[in-house]
């Protein structure tokens, strides 16, 4: 196997700066939310001028896009790992929750309130579609009962990128995705705080219901 080509010192330095910028960005998001993200504030924290930092990220939106892509990639990798070991929907559901609890701000950046004025490029959609394909594979292997929504979904197989996927599997995957994110979003945003039950058990009950 050929050895990887070593990065030039300038390229390594550029990657180090971009990594540091993202670390400061996540700290800002955790403190004030994604809508308050500021490249100038990050530049000040790093002891740089604003124009100097813009050589590494041309705009706030470019930085947000990279953070979103990193978050999607992290979740996709986590689900791929679970699918390789035990690819059923229940395992994937608990994997999504574990991933979200590890870093709620990362989860909410991609599944929370949209950032005003920000529009994600098509590249981020491609990564999110990869996550859905993992779920569709598991849903296809899960027995399910036909439903009246199947006829509607039959006209939208292109959304899944595979005309051969049964509409029952599409329905299963969509139902799974909406209910898992509904329960997890309520938990991560604190809407279940103060209620006399364990959010983890509520989530597990939702998963059991989905698998029945």
> How big, in percent rounded to 5, are the helix, strand and coil portions of the chain?
70, 0, 30
- How far apart (Å, rounded) are the C-alpha atoms in residues 73 and 95? 14
Domain that holds residue 150: 60-211
- How far apart (Å, rounded) are the C-alpha atoms in residues 7 and 20? 18
Residue at a domain's end among 33, 58, 83:
58
Q: Does the pLDDT of residue 190 top 50, yes or no?
A: yes
The two structure tokens encoding residue 116: 């005003």
Domains in the chain: how many in total? 2
153 with 194, same domain? yes
High-pLDDT (> 70) share of the chain, %? 85
**Chain position carrying tokens 């229940």:** 90
37 with 112, same domain? no
Assign 143 to helix, strand or coil: coil
- How far apart (Å, rounded) are the C-alpha atoms in residues 96 and 185? 11
109 with 153, same domain? yes
Interior/surface letters 31-64, b for 16+ CB within 10 angstroms, e for the rest? eeebeebbbeebbeeeebeeeebbebbeebbebb
158 burial class (0-12, 13-18, 19+ CB within 10 angstroms)? exposed
Lowest mean pLDDT among 17-21, 50-54, 122-126: 122-126
What Å distances lie between residue 159 and 90, 120, 133, 154, CA to CA?
23, 18, 10, 10
98 with 118, same domain? yes
CB distance 123 to 69 below 8 Å: yes
Q: Does the pLDDT of residue 87 top 50, yes or no?
A: yes
- How far apart (Å, rounded) are the C-alpha atoms in residues 112 and 110? 6
127 with 146, same domain? yes
64 with 160, same domain? yes
The two structure tokens encoding residue 187: 């938990």
Model pTM above 0.85: no
Q: Does the pLDDT of residue 149 top 50, yes or no?
A: no
Q: Does the pLDDT of residue 206 top 60, yes or no?
A: yes
Residue 166 confidence class, pLDDT cut points 50, 70, 90: confident
């Amino acid at each position: 196997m050929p050895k990887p080509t070593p990065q030039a010192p300038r390229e390594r330095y550029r990657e180090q700066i971009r990594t540091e910028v993202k670390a400061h960005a996540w700290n800002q998001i955790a403190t004030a939310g994604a809508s308050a993200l500021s490249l100038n504030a990050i530049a000040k924290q790093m002891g740089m001028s604003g124009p100097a930092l813009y050589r590494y990220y041309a705009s706030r939106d470019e930085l947000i896009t990279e953070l979103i892509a990193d978050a999607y990639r992290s979740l996709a990798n986590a689900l791929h790992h679970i699918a390789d070991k035990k690819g059923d929907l229940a395992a994937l559901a608990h994997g999504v929750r574990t991933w979200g609890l590890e870093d709620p701000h990362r989860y909410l950046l991609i599944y929370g309130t949209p950032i005003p004025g920000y529009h994600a490029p098509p590249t981020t959609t491609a990564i999110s579609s990869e996550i859905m394909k993992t779920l569709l594979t598991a849903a296809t292997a899960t027995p399910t009962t036909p439903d009246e929504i199947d006829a509607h979904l039959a006209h939208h197989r292109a959304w899944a990128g595979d005309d051969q996927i049964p509409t029952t599997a599409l329905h299963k995957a969509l139902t799974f995705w909406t209910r898992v994110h509904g329960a997890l979003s309520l938990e991560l945003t604190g809407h279940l705080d103060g209620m006399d039950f364990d959010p983890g058990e509520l989530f597990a009950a939702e998963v059991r219901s989905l698998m029945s």
